[in-house]
Amino acid sequence: MKAIAAFLLAAVLAVPAAFAQNDGQIQAAAQKALSASRFKDVQVSVQNGVVTLSGNVDLVATRLNAEMKVRHVKGIGAIRDDIQVNGPEIADPQLQVKLQKAIAYGLLGYVPVAFQAISVQVHDGVVSLGGHAAGPVAASDALAIVENTRGVKDVIDEIQVDPVSLIDEQIREREFRAIYGYPLLNQYAIDPEKPIRIQVANGHVTLYGEVATQAEKNAAGIQANTVSGVFSVTNDLVVANAPSEKPSK
């Protein structure tokens, strides 16, 4: 019995030492994974297989990349990400406008910006992405643009990805021609940001964005309803400088 008790005691005492040895190996491997210069201000600590990352980086993308690289290290039980994103202090309204333009121009070329309805909100440097993207590539590219923008402290991704459908793509094209080709609205066709955004999901159309007058909003809705194959049209266009409704007495 004494021999069994001594064996169990020795095994218990050996556990912390084994953990310590393993933690040291994990820490060395994690630090090696973060040897690139962009991670020079990131520190690694390990306790019982749990890795804690701390320190500072300039971009949200760098913080996420650090976590991804460490996640490939063998033996890790969990990762705690305490890395802080520094960078220039940019006022929320200024950063919001900057990101809206960056997304609009960043998605040009392969995905018409008129078919994107991605919204951007900024609070204390934290960016919330919402609205709709016409496919997963557009959504991931918009997210990457934000993650690689200096001044962004964190990103909340709530973009809804519209279903990939040949029928919806055809409806988008017909809607674009019907709306932007209409005489009252074709002035917007030369605007690279395409302020009238056309979102299509399973044949249902929603219009987002901003126009100058109520007549233009009405015209866009009417034109959208003329397109064949559309099940419904929701006109959520905003009229610029429209007087707010007075509260009822």
Domains of the chain, residue spans: 2-85, 92-161, 166-239
CB proximity list for 95: less than 8 A, separation 6 or greater: 122, 125, 127, 149, 151, 152
Element (H, E) at 26: helix 2-33
Taking the model in full, what pTM does it have? 0.76
User: Measured between alpha carbons, how far is 236 from 233 in angstroms, rounded to an integer?
Assistant: 9
Q: 92-161 and 166-239: same fold?
A: yes
pLDDT interval class at 241 (50, 70, 90): confident
pLDDT interval class at 8 (50, 70, 90): very low
Q: What is the pLDDT of residue 7?
A: 44
- Domain 92-161 falls in which CATH fold? Histidine-containing Protein; Chain: A; (3.30.1340)
- Domain 166-239 falls in which CATH fold? Histidine-containing Protein; Chain: A; (3.30.1340)
* For residue 18, pLDDT beyond 90: no
Q: What is the pLDDT of residue 109?
A: 62
Q: What whole-number percentage of the chain has pLDDT above 90? A: 68
2-85 placed in CATH 3.10.50.40: no
Nearest Cα to Cα of residue 116 among 31, 40, 61, 198:
198
